[in-house]
Structure 1
Amino acid sequence: MSSLHSPRFSEPGVPDVRSGSRFLLWLGLRHWRRQLFATAWGTVYLAAVAAFPIMAGLAVQAVADRSYTELAVAGGLMLLFGVLAAAGEILLHRTMGTIWQTTASWIHQLLSHKTVELGATLSRQVAAGEVVAVGTSDVSLIGWFMESIGRFASALVVTAAITVGLLIYQPTLGVLVAVAVPLLAFAVLPLLPGAARRVAVQRAKAGRATTLAADTVAGLRVLRGIGGEELFLDRYHDASQEVRAAAVHGARRGASIGAIQVILPGLLLVGVAWYGAMLALDGRIPVGVLVAVYGSVTFLLVPLRSFEEIALAWSSARPAANRAALVLGLSRADAGPDLPDQPAPSGDLHDPRTGLRASAGLLTAVVCGDPDLAGRLADRLGGMGDAPSATLGGRSLDSLPLATVRAAVLVQDKDPVLLSGTLAELLDVPSSGRVTPEAALSATQCGDVLAALVRSLPEAEASDPMRARITERGRSLSGGERQRLALARSLVADPEVLVLDEPTSAVDSHTEARIARGLKEIRDSRTTVVFTASPLVLDCADQVVFVHEGTASDTGRHHDLLRGNPHYRAVVAREDDSAMEGTA
């Protein structure tokens, strides 16, 4: 059973992201079997519907000829074609739904893989709102185009068949239809570039609005603290109104295309009806033939709408695919091939841009006066920042496979995320096995956190805090509790190199001092880098590196740097510039 269903949920593969058109072609080729089925079922459905006017013409002619046998045959055929039309439409929509959902699933998988691959560097290469928009609105547009291909192909087949049939059965009317149908199908082409541009403008504005919304939500607590909610609400209101105006502007072009696809076929229908009526009045064709021809031409309005749909879908999907290809084409600079079996390097961790060097097996504290620079430097030490990346044991992290880098270096940022689940699940991470969860929790001074979690348990489970549940992002915990549990998780992982960015900024000084000692003890013989300006942590470090104005300007023990470097003392003691200059 699994072998029958596994292809449906298989990995999407390696996409062609050289351009949006190539990305759409790659998706289309991945769907070629489903597209053939969609075309086949669509042809059955449209052919059965197209046969109704012919059967209606036969019935009218049977009534005119007073032939009840022919009338019964026509009625039976209409019933048969009705069943075929219902079955064909059901199977067509089922196949098209599969195509749409599978396309969306593949793109979401590709985006997830790319997010994992790039990590923190993703948000520096493209706005978060852009990634969200690709995974929502752009997926819908691309899925719409993919599912409309089968409808378009079946409409093309049936339209060609009806046109050829009219040419054979009634050449005069057939020539009129054969000339008019291509003109109607291509009448909207001049409007498509403008429609695509308007969709692109709307999509760009929507991406900016989504980014603004994400930033506002992320900083909502700070905004409330300074009374800035109204300001940002007004900014988002203006951005959303720009999106609305752009959508209305684009809808006008779409309405123009739709109007052309209604007016021009309507004129064709009027012309065919008038000319056919003249032939019937002259006695050159029977009335039943007139009904059949008129019904067939009327039916052509259905496939012509499919031509309109594919045109609109293409004009919308192409810019969406361009943006998806742009995001999926992002990569780490000079990244090596993904060879997970390659052994991880060891040795000193060095950042060539600042000159920072963390000696192997030591606890290195990094003091940086610029918090933003500290965050970027921490990412570079984990192989996630801008080029040039850090080196580990003399080997550039960017040149190593991603799996190797992730196994060797773990970076914990300022705001670590706690996933929902039990405490046992939170601490169940890939690890060396050297550090137990109990030891990590003890080193990070989580006794009071465990006691609080135990109190939240039912009485039957109150003896085991590991069964306590952590809510999404640890919202039920304080900032200090979240920091300590996240640090415990990092210690359990026990990587060769651990980079911590302000891991104790939300805890009190007494707890911070005990955590610093526990961290030094549990990470003995492991390379640990801590970005901090806390004297309690700095005092426990084996060495302290001071990064001043983008350069590692001094290295030593905490007390030596306090006495000998006024810039270092100003950052650690939080002195103002005048005090520093007076001391110097």
Structure 2
Amino acid sequence: MRIQDLPFPDPGVPDTRSGARFLWWLGRHQLGGQLKALAWGLLHFASVSALPFCVGLAVQAVLDRSGARLALMGGLLALLCAGNALGDTLLHRAAVTNWVTTATRVQQLLARKATELGSVLTRRVAAGEVVTVSTGDVEKISWFVEAVSRCTAALVTVVLVCIALVVHQPALGAVVAAGLPLLAVTVLPLLPHAARRADVQRAKAGRATELASDTVAGLRVLRGIGGEQLFLDRYRRASQEVRQAAVHSARMWSLIAAIQVLLPGLLLLAVVWYGVHLARTDRITVGQLVTVYSSVMLLTYPLRHVQEIAMAYSFSRPSAQRAARVLSLRRATVPTAQHGEGHGAPAGPHPRTPGPDGQGAGTEDGGPADGGRTPRPARPGPSGGPPSPSDDPPALSDGPAGLSSGNRLPADVPVPSGDLHDPATGLHVPAGRLTAVVCGDPDAAGRLAERLGGHSGEPGPSVLLGGVPLDALPLDVARTAVLVQDKEPVLLSGSLRELLDVPASGGVTVRAALAAAQCDDVLAALARGTPGTVDPMDARITERGRSLSGGQRQRLALARSIVTDPEVLVLDEPTSAVDSHTEARIAKALRDLRTGRTTVVFTSSPLLLDRADRVVLVHDDTVVAVGAHRDLMRTEARYRSVVTRETGEAADRADRTQRGTDTGRTRAPHGTAAGEALKEMEGTA
């Protein structure tokens, strides 16, 4: 695998039974790169280690006044230097390729797992640990996998040089052969202690990162309660703990580094002292002494690589263990054949889709006769009647020249249906109905919309779809079942045809979706902006739809969501940038087109609220009222203040009035903080 070929089309299925098995799996999946690095490493280290023999023979040739041998050694030295340069260059290239390849594979695996788990990931693994795994741990894992081939080449070279020294000069060669293994294993007992200290440092750093992310996420709340200093002190203490752990870890690594310098020096002194003694007694020649001395000096270079693999494994093993733990996470899947309507009652081997009245529709045995595909109810046209080609703008095309059939949802995907229930807020959305949700806080509306789609990483119970936790559904089923359109949806550049070419059930045509979203003027604007365009579907959309107004972008995004035709469609302020006349038409068309499907609209627009089957008022992340729009306008002061957009003292007065009504039924004790705050509010009122 070359770097220019990355990323991988498929990173594979990792072995996550342990950290060591995960490292072995990574090494096996880039065996070609490892063999290349091993070959170039052998050339590099062999060239470096052979230099002392040539130098020693050249010195002896000078002493013997042999010009032929001196010329031969000079030629060999030039050849070894060329081999050293070539091997070093290509070894570095192969090593970097192996490092990048491993890092990319691990990052792709982690990204795929994060996509698969969604918000489940941060519920099972701390955010700080996720950050640590995806950054520092990836580097350490890649370091070990890349170092295996280099260190293997270095180890082979050290063994061969020791054998050559014993053959060339047995007396000194035996000293070197006995001393080098001791140098290699001396630091090994210290590595587990160093690795444990490094793990403590990483754990403390992860906790500090998690604390920092929590503080930033809740900064607005902290400012509201005056808790910035409290959390600042906590982070300062956590940061100091990380610093102390880093110093504690650095002391051990500095000791290891000192030993790696000291012991080779002592071996070199021993070799020189013993070699001089042998030379003075004429037991070895000067050239042999130079050869052994130079070999000991140069062998410290490959020997460091042998020690590096032990260090790399000590660091990478816990990192690989953490990565394997994250990659081994699975969604707690529930067989979709058991999904029923209502609150999760079994409905036979296949799910049943609610009809326009909210009741299940399907074959008698619970499944349709077309191989398990959930039947979809007939769709009315944009005008409320049966679908008819006359209801669609004739200029558009969505037949063979329209959207690609590859983006149709597979027929064998059993999509669950049923009520949507959020245990955290008490929000209950009946199946097959249009429910509007009113929140006084726009940020709270966005958070609740994310929860309903399973995209929120906040801790707490999962949203239930038909009585089944959304987190427990297979990812493809969950994505098919619930679609959330954000308050500020993004339009990607390209043609209108490409924008609307999304995975869909096929139950809603592009024409019907565009008509329901009232996109006639948007089509005209796109056609004018793309000269020579015959079919508006071929009109170009600029980056993020900058050439369109906010309302036009909003309506195109709404059309994209409608054409997807999910079982549950969640819309967060879908018409906030649209004029009232267009908004009224969208409200009617949306209700007609989504008949038989569950639709949740977060809005404070009276035009949309009046079209909803039921309206839910959420205050302080809790459902406080449910009813029809006009009934709530008469009976709920807080609802009326949000819908009529009262501000300042009027809104505060409505909130206090409603609180007084609520607490008249369930009153907080005056001795508590809540009671004191209530008494203060009552006195103000």
Report the TM range for the smaller structure's normalisation: 0.7 to 0.9
Q: Secondary structure at the match of 2:278?
A: helix
Q: What are the Cα deviations for residues 468-505 of structure 1, in whole angstroms up to 9, with x where unaligned? A: 3124xx78988766654433331232223212244445
How far the C-alpha of 1:54 sits from its partner, in A, is 0.7
Aligned to 1:348: 418
Are 1:570 and 1:577, in contact at CA under 8 Å, matched by a contact in 2? Answer: no
> In the alignment, which of 475, 491, 494 is matched to residue 402 of structure 1?
475
- Contiguous gaps of at least 5 residues in structure 2: 338-371, 373-409, 645-650, 665-685
Deviation at 1:230, TM superposition (A): 13
- Helix, strand or coil: the match of 1:524? coil
Q: What residue identity is the alignment partner of 2:93? A: R
Once residues 418 and 242 of structure 1 are traced to their aligned partners in structure 2, the CA distance between those partners, rounded to angstroms, is 46
Query: Can you list the C-alpha shifts for 1:516-569, whole angstroms capped at 9, x where unaligned?
Result: 334223323332122445443221112335668988787543334555677866
Counterpart AA for 2:289: L
Give the 5 Å matches for 1:176-195: 176-195=175-194
Alignment-mate amino acid for residue 390 of structure 1: L
Q: Does 1:259 align with 2:258?
A: yes
Shift of the alpha carbon at 1:413? Answer: 4.0
Structure 1 residues without counterparts, runs of 5 or longer: none
The corresponding residue for 2:542 is 469
What is the root-mean-square deviation of aligned Cα atoms in Å? 4.8
Alignment of 1:505-524 (within 5 A): 512-524=583-595
1:582–1:217: structure 2 CA closer, same or farther, 3 Å change rule?
closer
Note if contact 2:6-2:101 (Cα within 8 Å) is conserved in structure 1: no
Deviates more, 1:103-112 or 1:24-33: 24-33
Identify if the C-alpha distance between structure 1 residues 549 and 33 changes in structure 2 by more than 3 Å, giving closer, same or farther: same
Deviates most, 11-20 or 194-203: 194-203
Q: What letter matches 2:563 in structure 1?
A: V
Question: Which region of structure 1 is more displaced relative to structure 2, 347-356 or 171-180?
Answer: 347-356
Residue matched to 2:100: 101
2:611 is paired with a residue whose SS is coil
SS in 1 for 2:282: coil
What SS class does the counterpart of residue 295 from structure 2 fall into?
Answer: helix
TM-score normalised by structure 1 residue count: 0.80
Q: Which residue of 2 aligns with 1:303?
A: 302
Local SS of the residue matching 1:189? coil
1:419-498 alignment to 2 at 5 Å?
419=492, 425-435=498-508, 440=513, 443-444=516-517, 466-471=539-544, 483-498=554-569
Counterpart CA distance in 2 for 1:280 and 1:371 is: 89
Alpha-carbon distance change, 216 to 350 in structure 1, aligned in 2, over 3 angstroms: closer
Aligned residue type for 2:270: G
In the TM superposition, what are the counterparts of 1:30-429 in structure 2 within 5 Å? 30-126=29-125, 131-200=130-199, 203-204=202-203, 250-251=249-250, 253-334=252-333, 342-351=412-421, 353=423, 357-367=428-438, 378-379=449-450, 381-382=452-453, 389-392=463-466, 397-398=470-471, 400-414=473-487, 416-419=489-492, 425-429=498-502
Kindly tell me the number of residue pairs found equivalent between the two proteins: 577
Separation in structure 2 between the aligned mates of residue 395 and residue 235 of structure 1, nearest angstrom: 39
Residue type at the aligned position of 2:500: L
Structure 1: which amino acid aligns with 2:592? E
User: Would the alpha carbon gap of residues 211 and 582 (structure 1) be closer, same or farther in structure 2, given more than 3 Å must change?
Assistant: closer
Question: Equivalent residue for 1:543?
Answer: 614
Letter in 2 for 1:405: A
Q: CA deviation at 1:53?
A: 0.6
Q: Distance in 2 between matches of 1:25 and 1:74?
A: 43
SS in structure 1 at match of 2:118: helix
User: Offset at 1:74?
Assistant: 2.1
Structure 2: how far apart are the matches of 1:467 and 1:241? 55
Identity of aligned residues (%): 57
Q: More deviation in 446-455 or 320-329? A: 446-455
Tell me, in whole angstroms, the C-alpha distance in 1 between the residues paired with 2:435 and 2:600.
5
CA distance in 2, matches of 1:510, 1:103: 57
CA distance, structure 1, for counterparts of residue 228 and residue 552 of structure 2: 28
Q: Residue 525 of structure 1 corresponds to which residue in structure 2? A: 596
Match of 1:576 among 651, 655, 661: 655
Change (3 A) 1:65 1:171: same
Kindly name which structure, 1 or 2, has the bigger radius of gyration based on alpha carbons: 2
Separation in 1 of the partners of 2:661 and 2:454? 40
Work out the CA distance in 1 between the residues paired with 2:45 and 2:295: 11
SS for the counterpart of 2:273 is: helix
Contact map agreement 1:383 1:390 (CA 8 A) in 2: no
Letter in 2 for 1:302: Y
Distance 2:588 2:557 in 1: 17
**2: distance between equivalents of 1:482 and 1:128?**
34
- Over 3 Å counting, the alpha-carbon distance change for 1:213 and 1:384 in structure 2 is closer
CA distance in 2, matches of 1:177, 1:337: 69
Q: Please say which of residues 235-244 and 19-28 is displaced more in the overlay.
A: 235-244
Question: Structure 1's 258 and 286: CA in aligned 2 closer, same or farther, altered over 3 A?
Answer: same
